[in-house]
Protein backbone atom coordinates (compact mmCIF):
# COMPACT_ATOMS: atom_id res chain seq x y z
CA UNK A 1 0.00 0.00 0.00
CA UNK A 2 2.74 2.48 0.95
CA UNK A 3 4.79 1.71 -2.16
CA UNK A 4 1.73 2.16 -4.37
CA UNK A 5 0.88 5.50 -2.72
CA UNK A 6 4.43 6.76 -3.13
CA UNK A 7 4.25 6.43 -6.90
CA UNK A 8 1.60 9.18 -7.00
CA UNK A 9 4.02 11.82 -5.71
CA UNK A 10 5.62 14.13 -8.25
CA UNK A 11 8.52 15.18 -6.01
CA UNK A 12 11.56 13.00 -5.37
CA UNK A 13 13.67 13.89 -2.35
CA UNK A 14 17.22 12.70 -1.76
CA UNK A 15 18.54 12.88 1.80
CA UNK A 16 22.22 12.44 2.65
CA UNK A 17 23.93 11.49 5.88
CA UNK A 18 27.18 9.83 6.93
CA UNK A 19 25.57 8.42 10.09
CA UNK A 20 24.28 4.84 9.84
CA UNK A 21 21.96 5.36 12.79
CA UNK A 22 20.54 8.55 11.31
CA UNK A 23 20.02 6.90 7.94
CA UNK A 24 18.19 3.97 9.53
CA UNK A 25 15.87 6.25 11.51
CA UNK A 26 15.21 8.49 8.50
CA UNK A 27 14.29 5.50 6.33
CA UNK A 28 11.84 4.33 8.96
CA UNK A 29 10.19 7.74 9.22
CA UNK A 30 10.05 8.22 5.44
CA UNK A 31 8.70 4.77 4.64
CA UNK A 32 6.15 4.99 1.84
CA UNK A 33 7.23 8.48 0.79
CA UNK A 34 9.23 9.40 -2.35
CA UNK A 35 12.35 9.96 -0.23
CA UNK A 36 15.67 8.30 -0.94
CA UNK A 37 17.90 8.31 2.16
CA UNK A 38 21.52 7.64 1.25
CA UNK A 39 24.52 6.89 3.43
CA UNK A 40 26.81 9.08 1.36
CA UNK A 41 29.24 12.00 1.55
CA UNK A 42 27.68 15.07 -0.07
CA UNK A 43 30.78 15.58 -2.21
CA UNK A 44 30.15 12.24 -3.94
CA UNK A 45 26.58 13.05 -5.00
CA UNK A 46 25.77 13.35 -8.71
CA UNK A 47 22.76 14.84 -10.50
CA UNK A 48 20.97 18.19 -10.68
CA UNK A 49 18.35 19.34 -8.21
CA UNK A 50 15.59 21.97 -8.21
CA UNK A 51 16.19 22.75 -4.56
CA UNK A 52 18.92 22.00 -2.04
CA UNK A 53 18.66 22.38 1.74
CA UNK A 54 21.54 22.15 4.20
CA UNK A 55 20.19 22.30 7.75
CA UNK A 56 22.43 22.29 10.82
CA UNK A 57 25.32 20.76 8.90
CA UNK A 58 27.51 23.66 7.77
CA UNK A 59 28.80 24.16 11.33
CA UNK A 60 30.61 20.85 10.91
CA UNK A 61 32.18 21.55 7.51
CA UNK A 62 35.06 23.72 8.69
CA UNK A 63 36.45 26.71 6.80
CA UNK A 64 39.08 24.57 5.04
CA UNK A 65 36.20 22.82 3.25
CA UNK A 66 34.17 25.92 2.32
CA UNK A 67 35.26 25.80 -1.31
CA UNK A 68 34.35 22.11 -1.68
CA UNK A 69 31.01 22.63 0.08
CA UNK A 70 29.81 25.59 -2.00
CA UNK A 71 31.29 24.32 -5.25
CA UNK A 72 29.41 21.05 -4.73
CA UNK A 73 26.15 22.89 -4.04
CA UNK A 74 26.63 25.03 -7.16
CA UNK A 75 27.35 21.92 -9.26
CA UNK A 76 24.23 20.12 -8.02
CA UNK A 77 21.80 23.06 -8.24
CA UNK A 78 19.84 23.57 -11.45
CA UNK A 79 20.18 26.92 -13.19
CA UNK A 80 16.85 28.19 -11.84
CA UNK A 81 17.06 26.34 -8.52
CA UNK A 82 17.23 27.58 -4.93
CA UNK A 83 19.66 26.60 -2.18
CA UNK A 84 18.66 27.01 1.49
CA UNK A 85 21.59 27.21 3.92
CA UNK A 86 20.48 26.93 7.55
CA UNK A 87 23.29 27.42 10.07
CA UNK A 88 24.09 28.79 13.48
CA UNK A 89 26.68 31.56 13.43
CA UNK A 90 28.75 33.88 15.58
CA UNK A 91 29.65 37.55 15.81
CA UNK A 92 33.28 36.71 16.61
CA UNK A 93 35.83 38.18 14.21
CA UNK A 94 37.99 35.04 14.51
CA UNK A 95 35.67 32.18 15.51
CA UNK A 96 37.18 29.47 17.71
CA UNK A 97 35.27 26.45 18.92
CA UNK A 98 34.94 26.18 22.68
CA UNK A 99 37.48 23.54 23.86
CA UNK A 100 34.92 21.70 26.00
CA UNK A 101 32.29 21.58 23.25
CA UNK A 102 34.98 20.55 20.76
CA UNK A 103 35.95 17.59 22.95
CA UNK A 104 32.59 16.36 24.19
CA UNK A 105 29.80 17.60 21.89
CA UNK A 106 30.88 18.70 18.39
CA UNK A 107 34.47 17.64 17.57
CA UNK A 108 36.00 19.95 14.94
CA UNK A 109 32.86 22.08 14.82
CA UNK A 110 33.14 25.75 13.90
CA UNK A 111 30.47 28.43 13.82
CA UNK A 112 30.82 30.70 10.78
CA UNK A 113 30.66 34.47 10.97
CA UNK A 114 29.02 36.67 8.36
CA UNK A 115 32.34 37.63 6.76
CA UNK A 116 33.28 34.01 6.11
CA UNK A 117 29.92 33.26 4.52
CA UNK A 118 29.98 36.36 2.33
CA UNK A 119 33.49 35.58 1.10
CA UNK A 120 32.57 31.99 0.18
CA UNK A 121 29.25 32.88 -1.45
CA UNK A 122 30.22 35.93 -3.51
CA UNK A 123 31.73 34.16 -6.54
CA UNK A 124 29.23 31.30 -6.58
CA UNK A 125 25.73 32.45 -5.64
CA UNK A 126 23.28 35.32 -5.58
CA UNK A 127 22.04 36.08 -2.07
CA UNK A 128 18.25 36.16 -2.37
CA UNK A 129 17.52 36.41 1.36
CA UNK A 130 19.33 36.35 4.72
CA UNK A 131 16.96 35.75 7.62
CA UNK A 132 18.26 36.05 11.20
CA UNK A 133 16.11 34.63 13.97
CA UNK A 134 18.59 33.80 16.71
CA UNK A 135 16.71 35.61 19.51
CA UNK A 136 14.06 32.90 19.41
CA UNK A 137 16.58 30.06 19.52
CA UNK A 138 17.29 30.38 23.23
CA UNK A 139 13.70 29.27 23.86
CA UNK A 140 14.30 26.24 21.67
CA UNK A 141 17.42 25.30 23.63
CA UNK A 142 15.63 25.58 26.95
CA UNK A 143 12.73 23.53 25.59
CA UNK A 144 15.25 20.82 24.68
CA UNK A 145 16.56 20.85 28.24
CA UNK A 146 13.02 20.63 29.64
CA UNK A 147 12.44 17.61 27.42
CA UNK A 148 15.63 15.96 28.69
CA UNK A 149 14.54 16.56 32.28
CA UNK A 150 11.07 15.20 31.64
CA UNK A 151 12.41 12.11 29.90
CA UNK A 152 15.27 11.51 32.32
CA UNK A 153 13.73 8.59 34.26
CA UNK A 154 13.32 6.66 31.00
CA UNK A 155 16.77 7.73 29.78
CA UNK A 156 18.36 6.59 33.03
CA UNK A 157 16.67 3.21 32.69
CA UNK A 158 18.04 3.00 29.15
CA UNK A 159 21.59 3.35 30.48
CA UNK A 160 22.38 7.08 30.32
CA UNK A 161 24.27 8.12 33.44
CA UNK A 162 24.40 11.27 35.54
CA UNK A 163 27.58 12.41 33.82
CA UNK A 164 25.72 12.44 30.49
CA UNK A 165 22.90 14.47 32.05
CA UNK A 166 25.30 17.07 33.49
CA UNK A 167 27.12 17.41 30.17
CA UNK A 168 23.93 18.14 28.25
CA UNK A 169 22.71 20.52 30.94
CA UNK A 170 25.98 22.46 30.72
CA UNK A 171 25.98 22.46 26.91
CA UNK A 172 22.37 23.56 26.47
CA UNK A 173 22.59 26.28 29.12
CA UNK A 174 25.88 27.65 27.76
CA UNK A 175 24.39 27.72 24.27
CA UNK A 176 21.34 29.54 25.61
CA UNK A 177 23.64 32.18 27.08
CA UNK A 178 25.43 32.55 23.73
CA UNK A 179 22.18 33.38 21.94
CA UNK A 180 20.84 35.51 24.77
CA UNK A 181 23.99 37.66 24.60
CA UNK A 182 23.40 38.12 20.85
CA UNK A 183 26.87 36.73 20.12
CA UNK A 184 25.27 33.59 18.71
CA UNK A 185 22.96 33.67 15.70
CA UNK A 186 20.68 31.43 13.72
CA UNK A 187 20.64 32.19 10.00
CA UNK A 188 18.76 30.99 6.94
CA UNK A 189 20.20 32.07 3.61
CA UNK A 190 18.37 31.56 0.33
CA UNK A 191 20.79 31.39 -2.60
CA UNK A 192 20.49 31.08 -6.36
CA UNK A 193 22.81 30.64 -9.33
CA UNK A 194 24.12 33.88 -10.89
CA UNK A 195 21.93 34.73 -13.86
CA UNK A 196 19.95 31.57 -13.41
CA UNK A 197 16.54 32.71 -12.18
CA UNK A 198 14.08 34.85 -14.11
CA UNK A 199 11.47 34.67 -11.34
CA UNK A 200 11.81 37.05 -8.38
CA UNK A 201 12.25 35.33 -5.03
CA UNK A 202 9.98 36.74 -2.32
CA UNK A 203 10.81 35.58 1.19
CA UNK A 204 7.87 34.63 3.39
CA UNK A 205 7.78 36.51 6.69
| List of domains in the chain | 1-40 (no CATH), 41-192 (3.40.50.150)
pLDDT of residue 55: 94
pLDDT of residue 2: 38
User: In b/e form, how buried is each residue of 35-73, taking b as 16+ CB within 10 angstroms?
Assistant: bebbeeebeeeeeebeebebeeebbebeeeebeebbebb
CA neighbor of 128 nearest in space, from 182, 14, 204? 204
pLDDT of residue 96: 80
pLDDT of residue 71: 97
Q: CA-CA distance, 205 to 202, in Å (whole number)?
A: 9
Q: Which residues of the chain have pLDDT under 70?
A: 1-11
Amino acid sequence: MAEHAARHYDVQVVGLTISREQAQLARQRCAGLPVDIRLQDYRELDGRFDKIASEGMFEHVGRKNDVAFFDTAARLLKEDGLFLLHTTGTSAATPVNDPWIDRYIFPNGELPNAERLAQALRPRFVLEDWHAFGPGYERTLMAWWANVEQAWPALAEAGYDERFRRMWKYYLHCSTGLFRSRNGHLWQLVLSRPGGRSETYRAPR
